[in-house]
Amino acid sequence: MAEVEAAADLELRVPRGEAGALDDGARQVLAKIDCVREVEVERIDGMRPDAFDLYVDVAARLALDAEPEADRDELRARLRDGFGVTEVERLDVR
């Protein structure tokens, strides 16, 4: 399978206390998704805590397992199906 580069704005559910720094926790959540090869967290845009998790708005650059002509909606769905991803607000494939 080929690799495509993407920029994304996502909302993630990051478990409290496991990851250390907030951007490290976001990176770990994204790196565990099957289609994600590489993750670079560009910035954290917001954070909302609850009793067990932190809900984090993150902008990231991703390398995804996909063909260059892959359907963008399918890629969004693959990311959204990842554990800890609550929303994919933007996905720009390069």
Give the residue numbers spanning the domain of 86.
3-93
Q: In the block, which residue shows the tokens 């892959």?
A: 70
> Could you tell me the CATH number of the domain that includes residue 61?
3.30.70
Q: Amino acid identity, residue 81? A: D
Average pLDDT for consecutive 10-residue bins of the chain (94 residues)?
A: 93 82 93 96 95 94 91 94 96 91
Residues listed for the chain: 94
* CB-based contacts of 51, cutoff 8 Å, min separation 6: none
Helix, strand or coil for residue 56? Answer: strand
Which pTM does this prediction carry? Answer: 0.91
**How many structural domains comprise the chain?**
1
- For residue 35, the model assigns a pLDDT of 94
d(CA 34, CA 72): 16
**Side chain identity, residue 31:** A
